[in-house]
Amino acid sequence: MKNNYVEDLRAKSAAELNEELVAAKKELFNLRFQHATNQLDNTSRIKEVRRNIAKIQTVITEKAHANA
């Protein structure tokens, strides 16, 4: 079973992917900041966001190689 999140990413344009990447990186920064100040309840969210960033970057790379 494929991941619906990745399928949704593949349907997006390069500009939309870059916007989503920036948003995910900002979220990761905020989560790390909350974790450092002991305000983060769900620490597994950091791992989830890091994986989402990797998925976004992978799809961006796939699109770049497909156009080359």
pTM: 0.91
Residues 55 and 57: their CA atoms lie apart, in Å, by 5
Closest CA to 55 of 27, 28, 17, 26: 17
Domain positions in the chain are 13-67
For tokens 């990745």, name the residue: 6
Q: What is the pLDDT of residues 33-45, one digit of tens each?
A: 999 999 999 999 9
pLDDT of residue 2: 59
The CATH number of 13-67, from 1.10.3720.10, 1.10.287.310, 3.40.50.1950, 3.40.50.300, is 1.10.287.310
